[in-house]
Amino acid sequence: KQKIAVMTSGGDSPGMNAAVRAVVRTGIYYGCDMYAVYEGYKGLLEGGDLLKPISWKDVRGFLSEGGTLIGTARCMEFKERWGRKQAAKNLIERGINALVVCGGDGSLTGADLFRHEWPSLVKELVEQDQSFTPEQVEPYKNLTIVGLVGSIDNDMSGTDSTIGAYSALERIVEMVDYIDATAKSHSRAFVVEVMGRHCGWLALMAGIATGADYIFIPERPPKKDQWQAELKEVCQRHREKGRRNNTVIVAEGAIDDELNPITSEDVKKVLVEIGLDTRVTILGHVQRGGTAVAHDRWLATLQGVDAVKAVLENTPSTPSPLIGINENKIIRMPLVESVKLTKSVAENIENKHFDKAIALRDSEFID
Ligand code: ADP
């Protein structure tokens, strides 16, 4: 009987619970024994109460809960070989040799490394540590890893959206609407800083959805000494057309073409120079909070179902799959390749149809 463990790791994102629920219930539907790893890789290392069976009813109500109810953590020990060996021991003791990981690129890189190392870890556990006999480890020669991307940043290459991105976007848009209302009342300018790490997807989409005057994203760095004048010109022009407020969205990873960070305070200074009463709002963790929007619940559920199918169809020679979505179809792609492509910003832009969105940003829609 197949035993599958499911875990969430790295930064939390809305929809992770829906993914866990779908994995657990699909596994049970297919006759598997399901386990939950609590607190990310920390739970794999510590075992005990952090790595235990999870039942159908344990995930009841998960669809409408934000964050991740089985917990997440950063775990430095999992980056060490001894830590991963401890994790392997805990899994074999429970008879688990398949792991569904919902997390960002760091978590998924760690998971794939774990899979590649697995045969040698098992060998060491038998020969050096004598934790198991060769007969005991016979059914656990390989580890199956399946990845789900849980991230508000939408920063994974090859998939149109990650679990949590649309929820964060929705929250940002709601907040910017609130800010716009007060900004218009006082004829103010607001600089709004949004999350996204090195990816500008949240900033760009939120800017388009709220009709922001100007958007700073890391994928299209403006010229170091030119953006100030351009920003002033754009905001003034919009004022002349009758706009009573200005909104500038700054991605947290915004940079200029010489890779210097562009901060919300830098942007504010420029707006103050043209006499605008300017405030800065850094949205922060509210962007991660709250329940998942319908898109993320739907995405997490379909992908969770496919993750279990991928486990059951996996062979030792297939590369670890990552479950993605492409033009509304749930797809599988090799995990390592997607992570590698993600490191290349250019690819990421292409895969996310950034060009179209950027063209929209640069066109004359705002007044
Ligand atoms: P995210 O998954 O959101 O990108 P992190 O990069 O912080 O978040 O990764 C989460 C956890 O995944 C880390 O705390 C660590 O336990 C594990 N991890 C990340 N990168 C690696 C790696 N290269 N090797 C092994 N484990 C890793």
pLDDT tens, 207-237?
Answer: 999 999 999 999 889 999 999 999 999 999 9
Q: What digits encode the pLDDT tens for the residues 264-273?
A: 999 999 999 9
| Beta carbon of 199 within 6 Å of any ligand 1 atom | no
The overall pTM is greater than 0.95:
no
Residues 196/250, Cβ–Cβ less than 8 Å: no
Question: Residues 94-107: what's their mean pLDDT?
Answer: 95
Best CA proximity match to 293, nearest among 140, 195, 173: 173
- Above 0.95 for ipTM, yes or no? yes
CA distances from residue 133 to 126, 127, 144, 300 in whole angstroms, order as listed: 6, 8, 21, 39
What is the C-alpha to C-alpha distance for residues 332 and 315, in angstroms, rounded to an integer?
14
Question: Given this model, what pLDDT does residue 197 score?
Answer: 86
Average pLDDT, the chain: 93
Ligand 1 contact, 105 CB (< 6 A): yes
- Mind telling me the catalytic residues? 153
126 burial (CB, 10 Å; 0-12 / 13-18 / 19+) is middle
Tell whether residue 74 is among the known ligand binding residues.
Answer: yes
Q: Which backbone phi and psi does 139 adopt, to 5 degrees?
A: -75, -5
Q: For residue 267, how far is its CA from the centre of ligand 1 (angstroms)? A: 33
Cβ-contact 209, 189 below 8 angstroms: no
Q: For ligand 1, is residue 157 a contact (CB within 6 Å)?
A: no
The answer to whether the annotation marks 286 as part of a ligand binding site is yes
In 3-state terms, the chain is what percent helix, strand and coil (to 5)? 50, 15, 35
Q: Which residue's alpha carbon is nearest to atom 24 within ligand 1?
A: 110
Tell me which residue of 194, 197, 199, 198 sits closest to 169, measured CA to CA: 194
